Amino acid sequence: MAMAMAMAVGSCESIVLLYSQPRIPRSALQIRCSSSLASKQASSSSKIPSALQDFEAVIGVETHVQLGTATKAFCGCLSQYGAQPNSNVCPVCMGLPGALPVLNERVVDFAVKLGLALNCDLSLRSKFDRKQYFYADLPKGYQISQFDIPIARHGSIEVDLPVEYGGGHRKFGITRVHIEEDAGKLVHAGGGGRLSGSPYSLVDLNRAGVPLLEIVSEPDMRTGIEAAEYAAEVARVVKCLGIGSGSMAEGSLRCDVNVSVRPRGQAAFGTKVEIKNMNSCAAMHRAIDFEILRQVALHKEGLESKIVQETRLWEEGSQRTVTMRAKEGLADYRYFPEPDLLELVLKQEQVDSINEALPELPNETRRRYEALGLSMQDVLVLADDKSVSEYFDSTLEQGADMKMAANWIMGDITAYLKTEKLSISDVKISPSVLAELVSLIKDGTISGKIGKEILPELIRNGGTAKEVIEAKGLTQISDEAEIASLVDKVLLENPKQLEAFKKGKTKLQGFFEGQVMRSTNGRVNPILMKKVVAQKLGLS
């Protein structure tokens, strides 16, 4: 291997293999698609409703899901993100002469999981094909893929649109799911990382052969937010199934979008434009809305012939799509059956056992929460991340009040996680302790305020709520006799105010309440205390 590398590296010709490349930092926290949309919404989105009065957009999405298998699809190399360039390579994924692919069985399991989760018909017999084209990041000159018989097809996915966009439930068709391998990466030296103007390119084959599932949707989406929510739901399903990290920011989930526009009432599709290079759902939303407006504007000016079949790139900086390459007719990939791999045969028992072991899917979680009576806003937040919904579920199992538990998780805990850039699996407070905390508040042992005070301690260090409360002496004072003596003491210490009260300055009731609260560092049960203060002041 070293020899082969040495020959290719160190040349000053047009392509050399890559030695060093800065590591791309892994984003620490996944942020729900819709919540980030609300704040970052581009101005173009507000023009969408009027643009869509006379026109209809037709949107389909092709998603590449990078699978989280330990090794690559057709060789034993580590399938690892962020390794030294060209360190996870072997004769097979480098496309050396004589090397042959051998299918990683985990890839098949993952494909079956996703196929089932997307309600697809599985092909018990499918096969691999070669998709042929020349590019410097494609070592064999073909990509092993599945052409006419994908492993899964005819499925669907259900999404709930964000409340801030008017909400609504949608079901989108899935055309097919198929297995394929990823290509390597080209890094264009000089030229600002872009191909044009770059004197040479570097090839990193670490990613070559990493397993992918390509999901092709039906052209069922009509707006940017629908497509963005579709992508977000696919990411949720991928994470829920544990088959990949499903991160658009990392590039482990990549969406290419096809957008066309047609006058309302027209049956035929308009000319479709492909958009690439969106690294978040929010970017997808904005890119599609931009593209819809661009195409509608051309239609309105009678220039629809200027909408050409092409691939456009979303530019995050300028918030617009620009032409990447015009399609010169249909590319001929000269697909033919991959002779190095056997037919892919699934046994019904294998499919059944995978099906039985499927976790609750995000849509099922949402429907369950909805049935519990949670608001759609709460449903969407709690069911967005499997670890959060599992945490919530465990907290409920421990007997916590549903609404209180939901509020604590969505409020204080989420806020803490965001500030500290942690995920819910990092916190030390267990669901049972949160349930304990909630019930202590509910039964009046502590106030909500004290609950908020001790939460950081519980998150950081764990322990039970009772332990922390007792250690800090924070138990709520709920004994009426004890409260009465506390009130007496405050009245005794403030004779002037008491005199003023008796002369009719009844607003001073609040002053006494505050003094009692302060004297106990907030530990006194506020309802009981207010009752006792009122009694002592002769108001009740």
Partner 1 sequence: MSHSRHLLALASGLVSTPASTGPGNWIPPRSPSLTIQSFFPRGSTTFSNMGVNTGAQDVVHPRSPKSLHLRRSFISGERSSADCARTPGLIVTEYLDRLREKEPDVKSFLHISSSALDEAAEIDGRLARGDDPGPLAGIPIAIKDNLCTRGMPSTGGSRILDGYRPPYDATAVKRLKESGAVLIGKTNLDEFGMGSSTESSAYQVTSNPWDLSRVPGGSSGGSAAAVAAGQCACALGSDTGGSIRQPASFCGVVGLKPTYGRVSRFGLMAYASSLDVVGCLGTSVDDVSLLLTAIAGHDPADATSSSKVVPNYLKALVPAKELPGNPLAGMKFGIIKETIGEGVEPAVAQVVKNAVVHLEKLGAVVQEVSLPTFSLGLPAYYVLAASEASSNLSRYDGIRYGPRVVADELNAMYGASRGQGFGAEVKRRILMGTYALSAGYYDAFYKRAQQVRTLIQQDFKKALEDGHILVSPVAPSPAFKIGEKVLDPLSMYLGDLMTVNVNMAGLPALSLPCGLIEDEGSKLPVGLQLIGNAFEEEELLRVGHIFEQTVPTW
Beta strands in 377-526 (DSSP E): none
**Candidate list 21, 36, 119, 132; residue touching partner 1; CB under 8 A:** 132
Q: How far is the CB of 159 from partner 1 (least distance, A)?
A: 36
Residues 40-99 contacting partner 1, CB under 8 A = 91, 94-99
Q: How far is the CB of 90 from partner 1 (least distance, A)?
A: 9
Beta carbon nearer to partner 1, 25 or 97: 97
Q: Site size for partner 1, by CB under 8 A?
A: 41
Residue 139 CB partners (closer than 8 Å, separation 6+) = 93, 94, 95, 184, 205, 208
Beta carbon nearer to partner 1, 99 or 324: 99
N residues, the chain: 540
d(CA 487, CA 535): 10
Q: Is 471 in the site for partner 1 (CB under 8 A)?
A: no
Q: Residue 439: which of 427, 454, 451 has the closest Cα? A: 451
Q: Is 15 in the site for partner 1 (CB under 8 A)?
A: yes
Residues 277-336 contacting partner 1, CB under 8 A = 330, 332, 334-336
| In contact, 43 and 171? CB cutoff 8 Å | no
Q: Is 149 in the site for partner 1 (CB under 8 A)?
A: no
Q: Is the dihedral of CA 174, 176, 182, 188 positive or negative?
A: negative
The window from 6-14, 29-37, 249-257, 367-375 that contacts partner 1 (CB under 8 A) reads 6-14
The DSSP 8-state label assigned to residue 26 in this structure reads P
Q: Other C-beta atoms within 10 Å of 514: how many?
A: 11
**Candidate list 7, 38, 70, 303; residue touching partner 1; CB under 8 A:** 7
The window from 54-62, 132-140, 345-353, 371-379 that contacts partner 1 (CB under 8 A) reads 132-140
- Collapse the DSSP code of 377 into the 3-class scheme (helix H, G, I; strand E, B; otherwise coil) and give the result: helix
| In contact, 242 and 20? CB cutoff 8 Å | no
Q: How far is the CB of 209 from partner 1 (least distance, A)?
A: 13
- Token pair, residue 333, equals 């990939």
| In contact, 222 and 230? CB cutoff 8 Å | no
**Candidate list 10, 14, 345, 426; residue touching partner 1; CB under 8 A:** 14
Strands of the 15-17 sheet, one edge to the other: 15-17, 200-204, 185-189
Q: Is 345 in the site for partner 1 (CB under 8 A)?
A: no
**Candidate list 68, 85, 139, 150; residue touching partner 1; CB under 8 A:** 139
Q: Is 211 in the site for partner 1 (CB under 8 A)?
A: no
The DSSP 8-state label assigned to residue 193 in this structure reads G
Beta carbon nearer to partner 1, 95 or 359: 95
Q: Which residues of the shown chain bind partner 1 in the complex (CB under 8 A)?
A: 1-4, 7-8, 11, 13-15, 17, 91, 94-103, 130, 132, 134-136, 139-142, 203, 330, 332, 334-336, 339-342
